[in-house]
Structure 1
């Protein structure tokens, strides 16, 4: 088991990529904190994990709220004694929009969840990992961060910020034995992927297909495991060659 006896927080874990990561991390031996705003779906993920012999707990959280993120981390520490892996996965997509169609409310929402959530999660867990002298922080960015598409202007900006932030924090926390990386998925078969996006995206994929959540989870498993002990400050493309 690659994550035996590890404790992992995964935000946005009630569905899609986050759910796949939570389930795979559990199979590999981790105790999983399923953190999400959606309680019913999150508790279903916990039920699925525990029914297979895993250890999991649901904690409701709005990742854009600092008090709630701090409570998530503190509750995990109080119950399990440590946090080995923090996965900032929660995020939202946007409809294809010309820049003049994007209002300030959409901009604020996109940045608040996609970037602020990563910032708050990283900030909250860093002191505990520093004290432990080790830890892994992962975040979900996007290939839109490195190869933006027309019509995804603010989404691309929010995910580009995640990449830059992760690289900066990787340098800051490396002396404490903490590795910080992010994953750039391409279009992935999740409830967030709209049909209009799918038709556009699949034409640009060299492998001729979109990713499944498990594809992203397997990359996350590698980066969270000791197999990646020399990997930090990386934005890891899982995109079927789209970024080439």
Structure 2
């Protein structure tokens, strides 16, 4: 039996990048997966690959910033697969390189609502369903930008640190229901990362020198296995923790 056989996972922002890499890793381990995102075509395009890897897959277009959408995703998942065991809160918008003084209301809202609000909405929505099944695993996402505080990532870094703080408190409150909450701080190639490489080549070259392993991460091969570990009973006594998966950029 595969490690995630008979497990049901929701992955927000699952059509590309880190979300897709984790979906591929989950599929390899036999999970049933609901992918969400704002672009239906992106979600539909990755389904054949995930099914070929061994997953049962359903898609539900949704905006992570909407509580109503989060509730609908959870209801859809329960109706489709009978319950929820794993939540991966990957969805996040960002504007790389934008100076703090230039953030307007629209930019602030886009960043905070997609990351922090979306994480809150989905966690609240899955809680009773996970509790009913005797527990579950929630995987949230922070970022090195929230820890090392590089210029140009003020609201994004603040959002990611807020998610880390939320995750620690949620781990305490949800723990009695058997629900574990952990955070991954990832570094991996994605469409957004590739655009950053193109738009800010000098910053990218400098950052690569900070990676002890001197290579960029792979969403499936590097981030995916850590997410699988956190999703399985192999990490049954791990909760409230942040794991940096960044090739040795941040060492705590």
Instruction: Output the TM-score relative to the length of structure 1.
Output: 0.96
- Offset of 1:200 from its aligned partner? 3.6
Query: Which residue is 1:211 aligned to?
Result: 217
Task: Give the 4+ runs in structure 1 shifted more than 6 A.
Answer: none
- Offset of 1:95 from its aligned partner? 2.1
Give 1:234's match in structure 2, choosing from 215, 238, 241: 241
- Offset of 1:92 from its aligned partner? 1.9
Q: Point out where structure 1 has 5 or more consecutive residues left out of the alignment.
A: none
Query: Which residue is 1:48 aligned to?
Result: 49
Deviation readout 1:71-124 (Å, 9 max, x if unpaired): 000011012111000111111232212221222211111001011110111011
Instruction: Output the TM-score relative to the length of structure 2.
Output: 0.93
CA contact (8 A) 1:34 1:45 kept: no
Query: Which residue is 2:204 aligned to?
Result: 198
Query: Which residue is 1:162 aligned to?
Result: 163
Distance 2:53 2:39 in 1: 22
* Structure 2 counterparts to residues 22-61 of structure 1, below 5 A: 22-61=23-62
Deviation readout 1:187-238 (Å, 9 max, x if unpaired): x211101121523421222222221112111110111111101100001110
Give 2:230's match in structure 1, choosing from 220, 223, 226: 223
Distance 1:161 1:99 in 2: 17
Distance 2:45 2:77 in 1: 19
* Structure 2 counterparts to residues 81-96 of structure 1, below 5 A: 81-96=82-97
Distance 2:109 2:124 in 1: 20
SS in 1 for 2:35: strand
Q: Point out where structure 2 has 5 or more consecutive residues left out of the alignment.
A: none
Deviation readout 1:145-197 (Å, 9 max, x if unpaired): 222212111110010011000111000011111100010013x2111011215
- Offset of 1:131 from its aligned partner? 2.0
Query: Which residue is 1:12 aligned to?
Result: 13
- Offset of 1:35 from its aligned partner? 1.1
Q: How many residues align?
A: 243
Aligned-residue RMSD, C-alpha:
1.2
CA contact (8 A) 1:145 1:163 kept: no
Query: Which residue is 1:98 aligned to?
Result: 99
Distance 2:108 2:55 in 1: 39
Higher mean C-alpha deviation, range 84-93 or range 197-206: 197-206
SS in 1 for 2:114: helix
Distance 1:93 1:201 in 2: 18
